[in-house]
Chain A
Amino acid sequence: MAVLVCTDLHKRFGNRTAVDGVGFEIAGGECYGLLGPNGAGKTTTISMICGLLASDGGSVVVAGRPVGPRAIAAKADVGYVPQEVALYPDLSARENLAFFGRLYGLTGKELDARIDASLETVGLLDRGGERIEQYSGGMKRRANIAAGLLHQPKLLVLDEPTVGVDPQSRNAIFDTVVDLRDAGLAVLYTTHYMEEAERLCDRIGIIDQGRLVAEGTRRELVAQVSGLDHVRITVEGDRQTLAARCLTIPGVDEAVVADGFVELRAHDGRQLLRQVVEAADAAGVEVSSIELVELDLEAVFLQLTGRALRD
């Protein structure tokens, strides 16, 4: 059953439309990725879903209850992890968690237990007494997530939680998100790193200029845009000649010469391999590998919007 249902969300700031008809659903135990470049409208969408911002149109329902700036009770089902490290640097992680936990009505032993559990989840149990300002960047990010988990929400919303994080902390954050999802949480994860969306998310919505331009599993998204396979031939020798020969193979539309390899755009790349080897022999070059390159979300985004995901 869907934990989050948002429908046709709209938001304007002055005469700039930040979100323009975004709608999607997330089930319990599912991680949904909102992937889009800077300024696409990810944070604005999330702000409406968490009830921080009144929408100009559309609706948000979490666990059967409508959410909005004035729908206070329903906010208890949402765990929000802001894009910034939204903790008081002059308080310890435990003090921060105790404060935010109390805002959700947690007290006494239950609060202590929840603080321990959240710190444990993000791997900070033994460092909880230190002030946030003394944490490394990665630890701050993890503590930021802990504060969103404290009250055991049904929906966890993470706004670009890995920005500026070292690879080790990033992996720790990924593991945490996967564990939470496996524990049954509905997770909404925004990012402009397509690797993250590919690795973590069960379904992905691609957002650009306030619109959801495509949605589905990674495979579905790729299928949506790709007619052509990409075949990469890594070779020593005259790549220009090889490219010219390959273009004569039926089904090859395009041959791109790059540093160290030639890449073919072709219908049904799997059927080409024998002919490519023959072409290489004829061109007199030595092939070290031939691979079928899978299309990534970067390419999907490029094809859907005509622009690169990263500027």
Chain B
Amino acid sequence: MGATLLITRTDLRRRLRNRSALILAFVAPFGLASIMGFAFGGRRTSARSGALISVAVADEDQTPLSRSLLAQVTSPVALGPVVSVKRYPTMSAAFAAVGHGQVVAAVALRRGFSSPVSGGPVIAKVPVESRVANGSSSGRGLTDGIVRGILARVGAGAVVRAAAGGPGPAAGQATQQIVAAPLPIGIRDDFGVGSPSKSILGYFAPSMVIIFLFLLIGAAGRSVLAERSTGTMARLQAAPIGTGSVVAGKVLSILLLSLLSVFTIWGATTALFGAYWGPPVAVMILGTATVLSLSGLSLFVTVFAKSEAGAEAATVILGFTLALLGGNFFPPGSLPPLFEKLALLTPNGWALNGFGQLALDARGLSDILRPIFVLLAIGAVFGTAAVVRLRQAVT
């Protein structure tokens, strides 16, 4: 154990003196995250219409209840910071906006929507209608969220009405109040999200770290392999310590440097720009899982390459392919549906899925267990193979 930590400490010290490692770990991701964060964030804060995706709503009912209900379910708090809401006077105008590609989805309340909700007669057969742009999964998700928000409130209203002893003017009024109020039932109103731009930065910062992490880990892995020809590996093995300690020390230093990269950028973007990455514990766990999966894959590619040059090429090519597929270069929700599926074939895609949920959708740890699990599984499979191979390679 002592030898392992000694090797870890010495390697870490060397990496932190190495300019290219510093650039990959800190300077580059921080710089790019800032630039992208400002680019998107700036647009977002100046006007809601600058949001990344837009959704249309139409209120044909035009009652106090329908108005306050719609305001509740389409508030920035309910929809998240990347969505802007466009209001149309009629359902057909809202649906036309979908057809013209101006919005990804539309939700309309028909005239008479609130009548049965507040205990009156049924006027409209289908009181809520929606339309989603062809193939837009973000549109589908948004519509789903809005409609569920409506249903939850209407459902809550029904409960209140039943509790008040069936229909009647008193029950109707109570229902109206309940339905129009921000309810903690079935929807999430308890976000800690700051301004939308800060959440966007909280998404782009980890996204940029991930791209460079892959390269950083590859470079660190290559430097371990290079120790075979520089003789230091032989010197380590001539020392009275086990090969296991040597490999463990080397791998641990790579993991620590990667964690340092992720959490330094987290701290820096939070402290300097007020970025919101998500609840701290969730960010720490997701960040660690991300590091483990990327380390596993990057080391795997490095140690199984035929030569050092081959390892470098493989790392760069795979790194950028994964970054493209995983969506690191794109704003969230802007990928075509096929690519959203492809993204989930990559570890970085899963990581971004998790970070996106935390920063943009104001989710918590319990919502991102799936990405965390997938990342850990990827890390375990590739990491184990890489370590076994590394052990062979250094003896």
Contacts and interface: CB of A to CB of B under 8 A. Distances in A.
Interface of A: 47, 50-52, 69, 72-76, 78, 80, 82-88, 90-91, 95, 99-100, 102-105, 147
Given A75-B239, A100-B239, A102-B6, A80 B395 contact: no
Interface in B233-287: 234-243
B339 to A, nearest CB: 42
Contacts of B18: 90
Contact of A86 (B3, B17, B235): B235
Nearest to B237: A52
A90 B240 contact: no
A72 B240 contact: yes
Contacts of B237: 51-52, 69
Interface in B328-386: none
B46 interface: no
Contacts of B3: 103
A72 B10 CA distance: 21
Contact of B231 (A72, A74, A83, A99): A83
Given A86-B231, A88-B14, A90-B18, 20 more contacts: A47-B234, A51-B237, A69-B237, A69-B395, A72-B241, A74-B240, A75-B238, A75-B239, A80-B238, A83-B231, A86-B230, A86-B234, A91-B13, A91-B14, A99-B6, A102-B6, A103-B6, A103-B236, A104-B239, A104-B240
Nearest to A81: B235
A43 to B, nearest CB: 9
A84 B239 contact: no
B394 to A, nearest CB: 10
Nearest to B11: A88
B232 interface: yes
Contacts of A104: 239-240
Contacts of A80: 234-235, 238
Contacts of A83: 231
Nearest to A86: B231
A90 B14 contact: yes
B145 to A, nearest CB: 52
A85 B229 CA distance: 10
Interface residues of B, number: 22
Contacts of A147: 235
B46 to A, nearest CB: 47
A52 B238 contact: yes
6 contacts: A51-B238, A69-B243, A72-B241, A95-B13, A99-B10, A102-B6
Contact of A72 (B17, B230, B242): B242
Identify the interface centre among A52, A78, A103: most chain B CB within 10 Å of its CB: A103
B232 to A, nearest CB: 5
Nearest to A79: B238
Contacts of A74: 240
A209 B249 CA distance: 37
B241 A84 contact: no
5 interchain residue pairs of minimum CB distance: A86-B231, A84-B231, A82-B231, A80-B238, A103-B239
A99 B236 CA distance: 10
A87 B236 CA distance: 10
Contacts of A103: 3, 6, 236, 239-241
Interface of B: 3, 6, 10, 13-14, 17-18, 229-232, 234-243, 395
Contacts of A86: 230-232, 234-235
Nearest to A77: B240
Contacts of B239: 75, 100, 103-104
A91 B14 CA distance: 7
Nearest to A53: B395
A107 to B, nearest CB: 10
B248 to A, nearest CB: 14
A265 to B, nearest CB: 44
Given A69-B395, A88-B14, A90-B17, A76 B231 contact: no
Contact of B238 (A78, A85, A105): A78
A75 B238 CA distance: 6
Nearest to A47: B234
Nearest to A82: B231
A88 B234 contact: no
A82 B234 contact: yes
Nearest to A49: B238
A52 B242 CA distance: 11
A83 B235 CA distance: 11
A99 B11 CA distance: 10
A88 B12 CA distance: 12
B87 to A, nearest CB: 61
Contacts of A75: 238-240
Contacts of B243: 69
A76 B3 CA distance: 14
B185 to A, nearest CB: 59
A159 B260 CA distance: 39
Contacts of B238: 50-52, 75, 78, 80
Contact of B234 (A52, A78, A95): A52
Nearest to A88: B14
B176 to A, nearest CB: 71
Nearest to A78: B238
A74 B237 CA distance: 12
Identify the interface centre among B18, B231, B241: most chain A CB within 10 Å of its CB: B231
A181 B383 CA distance: 47
Contacts of B229: 84
B230 A84 contact: yes
A97 B230 CA distance: 16
Nearest to A83: B231
A236 to B, nearest CB: 52
Contacts of B231: 82-86
A72 B239 CA distance: 8
